[in-house]
Chains A and B, each alone.
Chain A
């Protein structure tokens, strides 16, 4: 009977994109958070600044937070010069990112429409188009008929609750496959010597006097010349261990997908007023974002009334969607600032840098903020594109109010 005894054997595992590292006692830089921003920061620290003794520590798994929970929309059509600077810097990097990282991220510049449903929306949209053009950003104003040419399934009839009165259009905007972006940066950073450490929650920041000198983690302390936070919705929790209070509130933001459908929509459509933003993923799912919950929450799930509200508006705008089904919904925790703009830069503690407050719209900034934040850390001064986004602006009054361009559909 010995012929029956076959040793079971699985095929060899394909090559890993990166190797899991054990934490070393000390690094030049510890980046907290292995989302897109943290991974990109580590990559540019190594690539652009030659700082390779870097660890990215992550409480969960790589790209398991908002990086793979967002709706993947990439655009740079923000109102103010400060925002145009950093978001357009990011968009230009997106345009070369597949070559930079030597991997596919399915970047598709299919354009984005931001719909206007009221006279106020029209005026705000036209003003933003003008501001974008003055900043060299490709933006146009389209009337309802031109909107329908780009997205024939939109109902542009006038006797509806939210008629389409026009839209801003940015042709260079688009989508990318968000998890591939995380993996691309992880692989490239790892190849340059960066340690990627998952399952390693940071529980506190170690300081000596007015200087931060490391982090306490679930797997022991790690000393660091510099500590860079890229922890999105959990930034307040980390900073509160030092007594720093930032003007951030964390809320669940939800998204959902339909089943796989034939191609019906080949651009991105956003409507701030009715909280609908939708694109169709490469494999055919309708990807839709909903609003944030109205109340503070860390549950990584959202309230069902938000989904109901969002679907009601989506079905009115796109009557054909009534035939589709919601396949999955999920939530991520977003850290929202009072002016809907991020906080990037130095802190009251030497050796501690923050990147947070991206609220509902951090994905699109990934390469831009990675390069700018890395430069800020390497030179211990704000990169010119990050300089306006300090935490001091809330005291000086130099706010960068992007509620119009960001709203919930940031």
Chain B
């Protein structure tokens, strides 16, 4: 799989480290989160069969994190964008 780093362009997947689902925000008010809420934040992620926004680190390249929207069946990558940017609408 070739992964398009927003800064370096397409590179082999072995240059990257996977970071799991993107756009998972830390709770706004941590002291208000109960056990079930912490379990959901710590352990539960989407497990999409289809388009999935996920984090990648270009470990053997520029060493910068970014997000990509990848299809988990075809592995097509429709977008790669810097952290902090809004997820593009795809599919």
Determine if A295 is an interface residue (Cβ-Cβ < 8 Å): yes
B36-70 interface (Cβ within 8 A of A): 36, 38-40, 42-49, 52, 54, 70
Q: Is the CB of B75 within 8 A of A299?
A: yes
Quick one: given A299-B74, A396-B35, are A338 and B49 in contact (CB under 8 Å)?
A: no
Q: Is the CB of A296 within 8 A of B35?
A: no
Cα-based distance from A237 to B13 in the complex (angstroms):
26
Q: Mark B18-44, 1 if CB is under 8 A from A, else 0.
A: 101000000000000001101110111
A237 proximity list for chain B (CB < 8 A): 47, 49
- How many Å from the CB of A22 to the closest CB on chain B? 28
A282-316 interface (Cβ within 8 A of B): 294-299, 303, 305
Cα-based distance from A328 to B38 in the complex (angstroms):
43
Determine if A250 is an interface residue (Cβ-Cβ < 8 Å): yes
Q: Is the CB of A248 within 8 A of B14?
A: no
- How many Å from the CB of A239 to the closest CB on chain B? 9
Cα-based distance from A299 to B45 in the complex (angstroms):
19
Q: Is the CB of B1 within 8 A of A303?
A: yes
Quick one: given A296-B52, A297-B72, A299-B75, are A249 and B14 in contact (CB under 8 Å)?
A: no
Partner pick for B43 among A247, A294, A335, CB 8 A cutoff: A247
Cα-based distance from A397 to B39 in the complex (angstroms):
8
Determine if B90 is an interface residue (Cβ-Cβ < 8 Å): no
Determine if A51 is an interface residue (Cβ-Cβ < 8 Å): no
Task: Report the contact-size class of chain B (Cβ under 8 Å from the partner).
Answer: 20 to 34
A248 proximity list for chain B (CB < 8 A): 47
In the complex, the chain A residue whose C-beta lies closest to that of B40 is: A245
Partner pick for B54 among A250, A295, A298, CB 8 A cutoff: A295
In the complex, the chain B residue whose C-beta lies closest to that of A301 is: B75
Cα-based distance from A249 to B46 in the complex (angstroms):
8
A111-164 interface (Cβ within 8 A of B): none
Q: Is the CB of B75 within 8 A of A294?
A: no
In the complex, the chain B residue whose C-beta lies closest to that of A295 is: B18
Determine if A330 is an interface residue (Cβ-Cβ < 8 Å): no
Known pairs A245-B44, A249-B20, A250-B47 / 20 extra A-B pairs, C-beta < 8 Å: A236-B47, A236-B49, A237-B49, A246-B44, A247-B45, A249-B45, A249-B47, A295-B18, A295-B54, A295-B70, A296-B48, A297-B72, A299-B72, A299-B75, A303-B13, A305-B12, A305-B13, A335-B47, A394-B39, A397-B35
Task: Show 26 A/B contacts (Cβ-Cβ < 8 Å), sorted by A.
Answer: A234-B49, A236-B49, A237-B47, A237-B49, A240-B47, A245-B40, A245-B44, A245-B46, A247-B39, A249-B45, A249-B47, A250-B49, A250-B72, A294-B17, A295-B70, A296-B20, A296-B47, A296-B48, A296-B72, A297-B72, A297-B75, A299-B75, A303-B1, A303-B13, A335-B47, A397-B35
Using CB atoms and an 8 Å cutoff, list the residues of chain A in contact with chain B: 234, 236-237, 240, 245-250, 294-299, 303, 305, 335, 338, 394-397
Please provide the 8 A-B residue pairs with the shortest distance between their CB atoms, ordered closest to farther.
Answer: A236-B47, A247-B43, A395-B39, A294-B18, A394-B39, A395-B35, A295-B18, A298-B49
